Structure 1
């Protein structure tokens, strides 16, 4: 929005006689005079996304220009709006230059103009209003019969200038008597064979002239006066336009160097582009402004080299930080692995599989203990029975007999039953735990 307002402000500053048609300043009328003295308004329509969007240019009255379409919009291929580059002031100026250089085409006047009523400025009671139709051509000027026309240029009381308009300069009328223009306004416009462009009333007066120059500064118009006498007293420095000291010195040095050259030498420089470029380069090298520019460039170069040096130091510091981080990472990784192993060990001990494994191990031990007890009792019984048939025995057999003698049948039965009862109770616990874990999905 700021760029849009800035564009419109710059345009209104360059073209102060423009007419803003609405509050958001999206439609502006600029009074113009095209080739052949034709007067109309150039309508500038700004879209909601301007300056990203190209402004639309059109004329409000038929002027007979070949690159205007049926509705009066400017359709010129070389007039291109470049987003982010073009400016509204230069864009409209290029369009005005094209309109000024264009030739009047009587065959195009019937299809170039907007279909809206826009009143041109009035002078001496003359009020021109035209409505352009895309099919029937332009409508005649209203109130043409009541217009008060003069045969010479004069200035009215309101500051407008009235222009002479004869029969041949009005393509909207074929009446031989200009005083009977009101009777000819209803005639067929197709019978008009006049090739002269229409003459419309003038626009409002231009803005007031700038303030007069100081007394010591001579205006260009006064120089052509026969009584003009150049003054030998130079103007005061306070009355000269302000400029920077370096630019003033550059211009002074360039002027002084050119004043020493002869006219033939200057013409030779203009005829030879290569010599002219060499001389211009030498003069610029002697300019203080160029020296200042070289100083700025050298300073920027030094700053750039310093920035590159700092960038290298920053990269080196980043490398050191990465090395330090890499060493700390190895230590931290070792500590993490140790903690993870402890955690896995605790989880393994608390897992249901560990409980089932411990129960299975206990069952296996009880089953093995009962089998060993039964085997030992059977072996001791057999050896004790054979010991009564021999008079001498081996020491090992004697020990077995003594061991067998120590365990009676009742003792064996009690011990064996205790082991087997504990075995079956533990096996029932294992089965219950396995069923519970299977039900829980573990």
Structure 2
């Protein structure tokens, strides 16, 4: 097998893996998998310059769409892709607490499985599931005017350690064609003018929008040596300006105090959202504790089941055998006490006595018995016969009533 030169793929957001050597057809196989994914999901969006990150929209109930982040590590397809959803959105056996999707095909990854098949199974298995409710406190109303002395407009915004995708820095990546082998030209520009990606270039913050009249929050503590990209403006932040008139907007652009008041209000809104996320994390931790308790109960159930199996294999079998023997003996005794059996015995006995009396009469007629002997024997047998016939006649109607 021939091997090519060391194959280096930039890590997301500017970091790089160490150089590795892979088989000569590694790049071709990787590109075929990417083309298959884009052919299976035409709406998939490329979110990195090196074609290692993509987004596929997942529709949940009730009609909410969340992205499935797809990351292809440099050894892919020798190593499995990484599929993630936003944390705290889904509750499913495939979705781990950190949002990573791990189904059976990803756990037992096979390079021949196909990226498109794995993503399709994940989308089909999670589509339509209800989203977890997240309570977000309402944003306070903005106050345009002088800020009170205690107004924390200079307070630093909550630190964010998430590395943004190119879209978050103001770059919109169009979806590449299903079989393109290079990133779109309008992204990278002419080959001579576009330098290769590096960690410093990927981590450097894009041009700050301070020239447009928007102040940047102070850097987060402990971030010395790493240029943090600006926080992406969300729909909630932009909506703060919807109710302002043109005169108010003009005053914000010209009056420093009004501008600082607006910035402090946006920071307070962000802080409220951060508190909501902290409450969500606390709830998630409580859910993890309950899940651990449930797992402990499962272990106790298994131990109790083992004890039951041991008892069943030793003491229970002997007791069950003795019980079955006693039940059989009881059935035999009850058979003799059954009224129908008694009726049958009385009928048979009366029939035999009647036959004996007929034999004695025949012997007397033949002269074999004296009259005294005949009278004594015949009367005794006929007395027994009529006694049993009387008993049979008394029992038979009662048995008929019980059977009905």
Instruction: Give the TM-score, by structure 2 length.
Output: 0.29
Q: Larger RCO: Structure 1 or Structure 2 (Cα < 8 Å, ≥ 6 residues apart)?
A: 2
**Greater Rg over alpha carbons, structure:** 1
